[in-house]
């Protein structure tokens, strides 16, 4: 036995780590902004990271006034389905969607002066959303509280001002708890000022804390999910298409438009907002607009459908809808998506109006367009058609919509119509000679 004890002692001296327990791995997530697609993706990647490092515990620090209901619901579901403990650390505010996420966690700790509650769904102007949204919010608050062993009536009172819970919540006011009130009614395990203090209160002494941060790529993706940045990208998409149609063959405007479209759609696609059919809808819209301009005469059904599809896809990508179902999409999110797109469209119109002049005077444009005036005293002349061609008949050498070229007795002439569309090969008659072009009509 003495020999065995001596050998064991030597092993411990050689490997001191054998006498110590493995430290508790703690992943620290921070949500300190509105609940939106960016925070949704951040929490998804954070919990993936917790699984990768085999974390024993996750602490979700919250300081938020709420945000998009659909994103909050996805975060809540993700937390409830996570197979390891998640502690909510409310560091000042967990209102509305933030309250829902907190209640989904296994334990709740609050810093001094913090609050939780006020989960009524509101629209952009701060007014309460229609009752179908409130009903949905009440149900998920109630079911989430039940799942974590908390009083569901209290969770429901955080949404519905008509619930009277005697001394807990008075009728006419939605429920919001301070730290002491939350502790008293089972919505907080205790007060803590830091993650370390939470671990001490839960008797975790040997631990390693990793603060989760997005890598550079994810930070860029998160940046492009910002509605303001999305608006800028929409402006570039629309403006690039317009300038390319104005100066076909230049290449730069359409290249800028394609790059902007990729930067716009890819982040939303990675975040699960952009569906395949929405991207296809955008592409179809652009094709319809091109067909209307280059193939069909005038501006009709194809052009209108193209505009509707293009703008509609840009709006739908920003909304967490299920097909064309918007029952549980926050009205404020719909308004924000429409407002962002329309603001970008207005900006594109302004850029087209003022940018067209600047483009014509730019150094880049001067390389692809003739800038000098060809004066007659320098030997340049124009060929004017005389009236001897009036009454002559020929055929449309190209499509006239309304201008193009015609052929008379084997000679090619510039021509235009009175606004009519004439197909290539149709018979035409010259009705007047106007400078360097002939005015023609179709022979029926």
Helices marked H in 295-431: 301-317, 331-360, 363-366
Residues 291, 418: one domain?
A: no
Specify if 361 maps to a domain. yes
The number of C-alpha atoms within 13 Å of 123 and in the hemisphere containing its C-beta is 11
Same-domain status, 291 and 412: no
Would you say residue 288 lies in a domain?
yes
Q: Which of 307, 333, 366 is the last residue of a domain?
A: 366
What pLDDT does residue 12 have? Answer: 44
**Are residues 233 and 347 both part of a single domain?**
yes
Residue 47 to residue 59: CA distance in whole angstroms: 11
Between the CA of residue 101 and those of 46, 105, 382, 435, what are the distances in Å? 15, 7, 76, 74
- Domain identity same for 38 and 82: yes
Give the end of a domain, one of 213, 243, 267. Answer: 213
> 287-297: string of b/e by CB count within 10 Å (b at 16+)?
ebbbebeeeee
Are residues 184 and 228 both part of a single domain? no
pLDDT at 124: 62
Q: What is the CATH number of the domain that holds 177?
A: 3.90.226.10
Nearest to 90 by CA among 205, 194, 214: 194
The CATH code of the domain that includes 396 is: 2.40.50.140
| Pair (95, 175) in one structural domain | yes
372 domain-assigned: no
State whether 438 and 300 are in the same domain: no
Q: Are residues 255 and 336 in the same domain?
A: yes
Does residue 58 contact residue 85 with C-beta atoms inside 8 Å? yes
In a domain, 36, yes or no: yes
For 62, the token pair is: 């919250």
Count of structural domains within the chain:
3
Please indicate, yes or no, whether residues 200 and 225 belong to a single structural domain of this protein: no
Residues 111 and 90: their CA atoms lie apart, in Å, by: 6
pLDDT in tens, the chain (444 residues): 444 444 444 444 455 444 457 899 999 999 998 888 888 889 999 999 999 999 999 999 999 998 888 889 999 999 999 999 999 999 999 999 999 999 999 999 999 999 999 888 776 666 777 777 788 889 999 999 999 999 999 999 999 888 877 777 666 688 999 999 999 999 999 999 999 999 999 999 899 999 999 887 777 777 777 778 888 888 888 888 777 766 666 577 888 888 888 888 888 887 777 788 888 998 898 888 878 777 766 567 888 888 889 888 888 888 877 677 776 676 777 788 888 888 888 887 777 666 555 555 556 555 555 555 555 555 555 567 777 888 899 999 988 878 889 999 888 898 998 878 888 899 999 988 877 788 999 987
Within-domain flag for 12: no
Distance CA 25, CA 353 (A): 58
Residues 90 and 239 in one domain: no
From 366, 397, 425, the end of a domain falls on 366
Say if residue 331 is in the same domain as residue 400: no
Instruction: Give pLDDT, residue 200.
Output: 93
Range of the domain at 409: 383-442
| Domain annotation covers residue 316 | yes
Model pLDDT, residue 7: 46
- Whether residue 4 lies inside any domain: the answer is no
For residue 360, what pLDDT is reported?
Answer: 54
| Residue 19 DSSP one-character state | G
Is residue 15 in a domain? no
Residue spans of alpha helices (H) in 123-162: 131-147, 152-157
- The reply to whether 221 and 108 lie within a common domain is no
């Amino acid at each position: 036995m003495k020999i065995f004890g001596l050998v064991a002692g030597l092993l411990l001296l050689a490997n001191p780590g054998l006498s110590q327990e493995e430290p508790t791995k703690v992943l620290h997530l921070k949500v300190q902004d509105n609940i939106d697609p960016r925070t949704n993706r951040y929490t998804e990647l954070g919990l993936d990271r917790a699984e990768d490092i085999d974390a024993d515990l996750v602490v979700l620090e919250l300081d938020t006034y709420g945000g998009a209901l659909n994103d909050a619901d996805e975060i809540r579901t993700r937390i409830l389905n996570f197979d390891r403990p998640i502690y909510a650390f409310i560091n000042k505010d967990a209102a509305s969607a933030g309250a829902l996420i907190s209640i989904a966690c296994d334990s709740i700790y609050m810093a001094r002066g913090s609050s939780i509650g006020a989960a009524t769904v509101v629209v952009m102007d701060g007014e309460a959303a229609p009752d179908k949204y409130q009903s949905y919010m009440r149900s998920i608050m109630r079911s989430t509280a039940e799942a974590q062993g908390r009083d569901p009536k209290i969770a429901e009172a955080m949404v519905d001002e008509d619930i009277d819970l005697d001394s807990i919540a008075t009728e006419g006011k939605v429920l919001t708890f301070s730290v002491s009130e939350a502790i008293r009614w089972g919505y907080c395990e205790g007060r803590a000022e830091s993650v370390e203090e939470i671990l001490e209160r839960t008797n975790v002494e040997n631990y390693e804390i990793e603060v989760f941060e997005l890598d550079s790529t994810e930070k860029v993706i998160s940046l492009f999910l910002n509605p303001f940045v999305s608006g800028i990208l929409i402006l570039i998409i629309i403006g690039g298409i317009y300038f390319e149609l104005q100066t076909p063959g230049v290449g730069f405007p359409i290249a800028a438009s394609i790059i902007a479209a990729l930067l716009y759609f890819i982040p939303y696609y990675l975040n699960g907002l952009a569906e395949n059919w929405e991207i296809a809808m955008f592409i179809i819209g652009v094709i319809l607009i091109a067909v209307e301009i280059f193939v069909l005469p005038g501006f009709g059904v194809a052009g209108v459908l193209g505009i509707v599809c293009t703008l509609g896809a840009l709006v739908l990508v920003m909304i967490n809808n299920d097909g064309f179902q918007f029952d549980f999409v926050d009205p404020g999110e719909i308004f924000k998506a429409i407002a962002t797109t329309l603001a970008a469209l207005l900006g594109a119109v302004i850029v087209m109006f003022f940018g067209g002049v600047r483009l014509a005077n730019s150094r880049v444009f001067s390389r692809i367009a003739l800038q000098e005036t060809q004066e007659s005293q320098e030997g340049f002349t124009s060929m004017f058609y005389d009236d001897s061609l009036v009454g002559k008949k020929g055929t449309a050498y190209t499509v006239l919509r309304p201008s193009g070229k015609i052929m008379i007795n084997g000679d090619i002439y510039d021509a235009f119509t009175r606004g009519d569309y004439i197909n290539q090969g149709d018979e035409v008659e010259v009705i007047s000679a106007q400078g360097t072009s002939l005015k023609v009509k179709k022979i029926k």
